[in-house]
Amino acid sequence: MNILDILTIVINFAGALTIFLFAMKEMSEGLQKAAGSRMRSILGKITGNPVSGILTGTVVTAIIQSSSATTVMVVSFVNAGLLSLSGAIGVIMGANIGTTATGWIITLLGLGEGSGSFSLPMLLATVSMFFIFAKRDALKSVGQSIVGLALLLVGMELLQQAMPNLEQYPELLEGIASLSGHGVWSLLLFIVIGTVLTCLVQSSSAMLAITLLMCYNGLLGTEMAIALVMGQNIGTTITANIAAAVTNTASKRAARAHLLFNVIGVVVTLIFFRPLVNLIMSIFPTDVPMAITLFHTIFNVGNTLLLVWFIPQIIWAVQRMVPEPKEQAGDAEAEEYHLSYISRGPVNTAELNLQSAKCEIQIFSKQVLHMFALLPELRQAKNEKEFDGVMQRIERYEQLTDRMEMEITRFLTAVGSGSISPHGSERVSTMLRIIDNLESIGDSILQIALTRKNKRADAVHFSDHLNANLDQMNALVENALIVMDGNLVDYDHIDLDGAYEAENDINACRDRLRAEHLEALKHNVYGYAVGNAYSSLYALYEKLADYAINVTESINNTHKHSIHH
């Protein structure tokens, strides 16, 4: 085998693998667009019950055909506080089971004579036309997934053709055989190879397809193929760990749990390796690809059935693997910001990223509430040093809201420019309007703080009555912000009446304060400086509340459009 032969094999194989990975992406994205909102809703309602988590993880992964997408979503949900660590572990266990569906699709449809004629891919492509040209968006998405399946089968055929011919290159088989003849050390070597290659390719499904093809072409025996599959199960956990690298402690623990779960499964399998291989070979003595697919299923189902009883111990272990930071940011105002829920990993599916963006917006809202809560401290400050300290925190918060708006906007713009359903596109537009209003709330809070700072610098003092009026306005606006924050949790069930009631109370209070203020000016109750600062403050509070009701109205308009659509 010369350099030209090796280069030809590599180029053909890389091209076939690219088609396969593209097909997996198309199939997964089509399914996620068809069922994305339901998947987000289902995952968001998982409790700590491991059985519900396992079933949900299995079904979701089998439907969207991507365990990586499921586990990255789980990491973001844990980071968002929407999913407990025990619930996340259950979903991850289920995701491992759900991903075995891909292996069966490849084995039953993508190997052998049935795929070689291209008749099945062509049939699927023809069927997809009836869906792609349908009027309903969900049917179009189903059509996309069928096209993806057809391309996947084409990719499998091309991968099969790219496999080197053993008769032409017998030294290749000899090389693999030389690695396979060292007992347990060979098993460990192939586990490491499977882990490393899966980390590089970032698709356990692609690596499983390659393993099955190598078995089909006689390049790999059952034992070494099983070792490769075990390594792939470890390698696939890298995606969630990459996504968790910039998130909080809880989500890092969820990602480590995924890694620990699969590593334990590999260790247990190695202990019972010989009986397990004998069992599988007794079922499929001559069909190695079927034997490997069966092992993949037994490995993930058996691992789940075993370790589901040890979830508390897994939690204990990952808590020690990822301890709490020594310094907790008590003011989680933390004045530093990065995207907490949005995956920075390689999985970036538009439909499912909407849930991550929604969680990110909830953080944004919480930061605005923390910022607003500092306003009363300005009036209560006992000296200049205390006042300046609170003022600096408010200014840092305002800078934080600017960065949050910029980063989330950039992310949502990227999501909206990708492959996304019309409903998803509408959600993106809504979220962009929401974060614009949230940033405006931050600006208004800073303006209120600066007005108080100028008032203090000019030695302007309010009477107890004026302070009481502003305290009442502050309380009403705080209530409006709390209602707004609650409405950001579930866009399908918002408290619209509560939001309008809060807005009406604020407007009524503003009207009363304005009327009293005009009367006070008429009777010279206080001077221009006091009156100007006072009227500026209640007007700023009322303006701030307008942005809060805009958030709820944006959600409500999208919800009505969704129902009508």
Confidence of residue 446 (pLDDT cuts 50, 70, 90): very high
Domains in the chain, ordered, with CATH? 3-321 (no CATH), 350-564 (1.20.58.220)
Decide which of 133 and 394 is more confident: 394
Can you tell me the mean pLDDT for 104-117?
Answer: 67
The packing angle between helices 288-307 and 100-109, to 10°, is 170
198 is written with which tokens? 């899966």
pLDDT at 170 over 80: no
Distance in angstroms (rounded) separating the CA atoms of residues 75 and 168: 47
- Which tens digits make up the pLDDT trace of 178-196? 777 777 888 999 999 989 8
Task: Using pLDDT thresholds of 50, 70 and 90, give the confidence band for residue 334.
Answer: very low
Least confident of 100-109, 131-140, 362-371, 529-538: 131-140
pLDDT of residue 292: 93
Instruction: Indicate whether 318 pLDDT > 90.
Output: yes
- Better-scored residue on pLDDT, 457 or 42: 457
Whether residue 290 is predicted with pLDDT greater than 70 in this model: the reply is yes
Cα→Cα distances 296→57, 266, 549, Å: 17, 11, 52
DSSP assignments along 36-93, one per residue? HHHHHHHHHT--S-HHHHHHHHHHHHHHHT-HHHHHHHHHHHHHTTSS-HHHHHHHHH
- pLDDT range class, residue 203, cuts 50, 70, 90: confident
Orientation angle between helical segments 67-79 and 350-372, nearest 10 degrees: 10
The DSSP code for 323 is P
How high is the pLDDT of residue 141?
Answer: 77
Average pLDDT, the chain: 82
Distance CA 242, CA 237 (A): 9
pLDDT at 354 over 60: yes
What average pLDDT score do residues 276-282 get?
A: 92
Determine the Cα–Cα distance for residues 342 and 3; give it in Å rounded to an integer. 44
Q: Which residue has the higher pLDDT, 281 or 113?
A: 281
pLDDT of 337 reads 52
Rg (CA), the chain: 30
Q: Please report the pLDDT score of residue 517 as a whole number.
A: 93
Residue 112 · residue 392 · CB < 8 Å: no
State the pLDDT confidence band at 351, using cuts at 50, 70 and 90: low
Range 501-520 average pLDDT: 94
Chain Cα centroid distance, residue 342: 6
What torsion, rounded to 10 degrees, do the Cα atoms 6, 7, 10, 13 define?
Answer: -100
Is a pLDDT exceeding 60 seen at residue 349? no
- Cβ proximity of 56 and 42 under 8 Å: yes
Residue 308 is given by DSSP the state G
Asked if residues 484 and 366 have their Cβ atoms less than 8 Å apart, the reply is no
User: Which strand (E) or helix (H) includes residue 247?
Assistant: none
Q: Pseudo-torsion of CA 89, 357, 43, 495, nearest 10°? A: 130
